[in-house]
Structure 1
Amino acid sequence: MATTSARTLKLLSIFGTGATLSAEELATRLGASVRTVRRDIDTLRDLGYEIEAVRGAGGGYRLGRATRLPPVVFDEDQAVAAAVALQTVPTILSGIRENSARALATLHQAMPARSRVHAEAFTVSAARNYWEFPSPPIHAEIVRTIGSAINRRHLVRVDYTGDGEPVALTLEPHDLVVWAARWYLVAFDRDAHGWRVMRLDRITPRLPTHTPFDRRGIPHNDPVTFVMTTHDRGDAAAEWQCRGSAILALPASTVAPFAPGGSTVEYDTEDSCRLTLGAWSWPGLAGLLLTFDADITDIEPPELRQALHSLHNRIRKGLTDD
């Protein structure tokens, strides 16, 4: 990189946007001649960057896929974003902490002082919200295996552990979604002939199948929406000092996106569902149920019913005093 000029680095940054630009457009952006631009493109190619020439209308030059890992150039905002990502990734992926620490150290060493200050401003200690119960970090190899199958559109055979013994499944993996600090797989189950949302930490991949499949249209045309509105996604109620449940007069798909972390939503009827959740106190748990602004029945255990009676009496007294 010692012979690479500032202009060539700027050219690489322009290519990093993914745009296809003509030599004339690049020359205008760089304030240089077309001949100079073509010479700088040759320099980047010598350094290992795959700069493709695109012919025809709307053609020009673009950054292609490299056959080896060349030097990478970030602008200041990109460097800060990468540093923040490297600091947070070990909280959701296991087996990657050492590599991310090495990458972060390399990035910090190459950063100007001002960029380092900006990146370090995002360094915080992990703290868990009262309502968040993320699963343990997923091992990076599981994400890599399933993610590779998604990208290649290959069937996967997995062992899935739900409430009982592991079950062997053959799936068409479509998307990975991280929501509420948990990893989920959106897949089409060939045996059940239907779509499923599954916790990734409950999946053990088997050997690759290398069997291709055709991608299908995902419900709601959005994997994130599908995960959020699916009540049966493998979640389990977290251990709380106080834990209870009730039937809510709302559809399971309506309650699912707003159920606190560490709770479960079970289908009851088309217009009702059972919500099981916990809190640090029975009044706190009762208050959570009331936030759904729906009729509640079949309330368990007795301590939760008593807490609701107490809240009712306090609220009635407060309204009477007014």
Structure 2
Amino acid sequence: MNQPAATASRLLALLSLLQARREWPGPVLAERLGVGLRTVRRDVERLRGMGYRITAGRGSIGGYRLDSGADLPPLLLDDDQVTGIAVALRAAPLAGAGVEEAAAQALATIRRVMPSRLRHRVDALQFTTLATDAPVSTVGTDDLVLLSGAIRAREVVRFDYGAPGARAGGDVPRPPRRAEPHHLVASRGRWYVVAWDLGVADWRIFRVDRMATRLHTGPRFTPREVPGGDVQEFVAARFTGRHANDWPCRGKVVVDLPARDVAPFVEDGVVEDLGPDKCSVEVGSWSWTALASLLGRLEADVHVLHPEEVRLAFGELAQRFQRASDPGDRPD
């Protein structure tokens, strides 16, 4: 490798190291690059000349740190990072943050400055984003920034809450709602805030597109622990009608089918093998009749172990199905 190419390659390696962690001792950088300390110092000066703000520590061994600055110097991205950026920008419509056009422009800008090799890799990555089961609700980035900032600063937020796009008003003025925001969650094309509602003294999940946030946040608060300790589990439970860590209705039955044939259809249930053509199933749902319906779709005989509510739910469903099968049973 000729001298200019070797220097350029070494500068890229040095910049990559500086971006990877907060501070590097000079001797460690020299060892990683396979050069002497004087060469490291010269390379640091070259990077400074390109616009990178690199702070040098005092002492015989020194230390180097890459600081953020007002000017954006050239970025160093490896192949996987470029691919990750491309995927994220092209999937922007699923976020519902109203940044689709900006994301497309950003991807076009990045693509123009890529080396040919990386540009071909990004161009080869083609996929189509489909609408989610729930319609995408666009929210303003200002709202997301305000809410995220309040979560980070642990500050109470004030907002009016209603239909998407609603703002304060109406015949009877209402005081704004007050809540301690804990997590900002994106799910199925919508944005949500998991918060402790001070008005009802309980946990709530608010849709951001229905929040008309007030500009100024309130006092600081001490964070509470989300029920169950896992925000993903908490939100998933609320979306499916469960309690924080479990379904409100659980039952156990024996099914006249092999465990391998039953397991794919009970999702978060527990299936125990009882022999070649029998297994036990413990599973939950949001109601007893819904639990019986879930077990009934297995198309096999079911023997209820406990509780009695499951047996009663099967009886109620049997009556419904009997009425539905009667040709003379038609709505008025």
**TM tier relative to shorter chain:** 0.5 to 0.7
Query: Structure 2 vs 1, CA of residues 275 and 119 (structure 1 numbering), >3 Å: closer, same or farther?
Result: farther
- Change in 2 beyond 3 A, CA 1:101/1:14: same
Corresponding residue for residue 123 of structure 2: 120
Deviation at 1:102, TM superposition (A): 1.6
Distance in 2, Cα, partners of 1:195 & 1:229: 13
C-alpha deviation, 1:208, in angstroms: 2.2
Distance in 2 of aligned mates of 1:30 and 1:137: 47
Show the counterpart of 1:249: 249
User: How far apart in 2 are the matches of 1:28 and 1:19?
Assistant: 18
> What is the 5 A alignment of 1:1-322?
5-53=8-56, 60-128=63-131, 132-161=133-162, 168-209=176-217, 211-231=219-239, 249-250=249-250, 273-274=286-287, 290=297, 295=310, 305-306=320-321
Say if 1:13 and 1:143 are closer, same or farther in 2 by CA, change over 3 A.
Answer: same
1: CA distance, partners of 2:312 / 2:58: 68
Counterpart Cα distance in 1 of 2:71 and 2:191: 30
Normalising to structure 2: TM-score of the pair? Answer: 0.63
**Alpha-carbon offset, residue 68 of structure 1:** 4.0
Query: 1:189 offset after TM fit, Å?
Result: 2.0
Answer whether contact 1:90 1:137 (CA < 8 A) is retained.
Answer: no
When residues 8 and 228 of structure 1 are mapped into structure 2, their CA distance, relative to the original with a 3 A threshold, is same
Give, as a single letter, the amino acid of the residue that structure 1 aligns with 2:224. Answer: R
RMSD: 4.4
- Indicate the SS of the match to 2:16: helix
Distance 1:218 1:48 in 2: 44
Kindly tell me: are residues 173 and 48 of structure 1, through their superposed partners in 2, closer, same or farther at Cα, counting changes over 3 Å?
Answer: farther
Post-superposition CA distance 1:207-261 (Å, at most 9, x none):
122643333333333322221223599xxxxxxxxxxxxx98349xxxxx98xxx
Shift of 1:44: 3.3
Q: What is the deviation of 1:28?
A: 1.9
Q: How far, CA to CA, are the matches of 1:308 and 1:104 in structure 2?
A: 59
Partner of 2:279: none
| Identical amino acids, percent of aligned pairs | 35
Query: C-alpha deviations, 1:23-74, integer Å up to 9, x for none?
Result: 1121122222222223333343444434345689x99433334344333221
Amino acid in the other structure paired with 2:8: S
Change (3 A) 1:218 1:62: farther
The change in CA–CA distance for 1:42 and 1:289 in structure 2 (over 3 A counts) is: farther
TM-superposed deviation, 1:81: 0.6
Q: Distance in 1 between matches of 2:80 and 2:49?
A: 27
**Matched residue SS, 2:31:** helix
Q: Distance in 1 between matches of 2:28 and 2:322?
A: 69
Question: Aligned partners of 2:311 and 2:167: how far apart in 1?
Answer: 33
Flag the structure with larger Rg. Answer: 2
| Cα pair distance change 1:309/1:221, threshold 3 Å | same
State the AA in 2 paired with 1:249: C
Shift of 1:77: 1.0
Contact 1:135 1:182 in 2 (8 A): yes
Amino acid in the other structure paired with 2:152:
N
State the Cα deviation string for residues 262-284 of structure 1 (Å, max 9, x = none): xxxxxxxxx8635999xxxxxxx
- TM-score, normalized by length of structure 1? 0.64
Supply the distance in 2 between the matched residues of 1:276 and 1:88 (Cα, whole angstroms): 39
1:78 CA displacement: 0.6
CA distance in 2, matches of 1:154, 1:48: 37
